[in-house]
Amino acid sequence: MHTDILIEALKVTGFGMLGIFAFMVIFYFAIKAIDRIFPSSKK
């Protein structure tokens, strides 16, 4: 029973950390793309 919960927690950890990094990769490229398409006119 306890081992089952631990295994579930490990799965949530694995998918969770991967998920956060996946989100950040998307946000990273979103920032890069927005910044390239709409650069600041100020120098």
Partner 1 sequence: MNLNDLLPVLYQITWQHLVMIAVGLTLIYLAIAKEYEPNLLLPMGFGALLVNLPLTSALTQIDPVTGKALEGALTVFYEAGIANEVFPLLIFIAIGAMIDFSPLFKSPYLLFFGAAAQFGIFFTMIAATLMGFDLKEAASIGIIGAADGPTSIFVSSRFAPELLGPISVAAYSYMALVPIIQPPVIRALTSRKERLIRMESHSKSISKTALILFPIIVTLFAGIIAPSSLALIGFLMFGNLIRECGVLNKLSLAAQNELSSLVTILLGISIASTMTAERFVQVDTLMIIGLGLVAFIFDTFGGVMFAKLLNVFLPANRKINPMVGACGISAFPMSARVIHGMGQKEDPQNFLLMHAVSANVGGQIGSVVAGGLILSLVPLFL
Give φ, ψ of 12 to 5 degrees: -60, -40
Considering only residues 12 to 41 of the shown chain, the ones binding partner 1 according to CB under 8 A are 12-13, 15-17, 19-24, 26-28, 30-32, 34-35, 38-41
**CA-to-CA separations, 10 to 15, 19, 20, 30, 41, in angstroms, rounded:** 9, 14, 15, 30, 48
Least distance in Å: CB of 3 to partner 1? 10
Binding site for partner 1 (CB under 8 A): 2, 5-6, 8-13, 15-17, 19-24, 26-28, 30-32, 34-35, 38-43
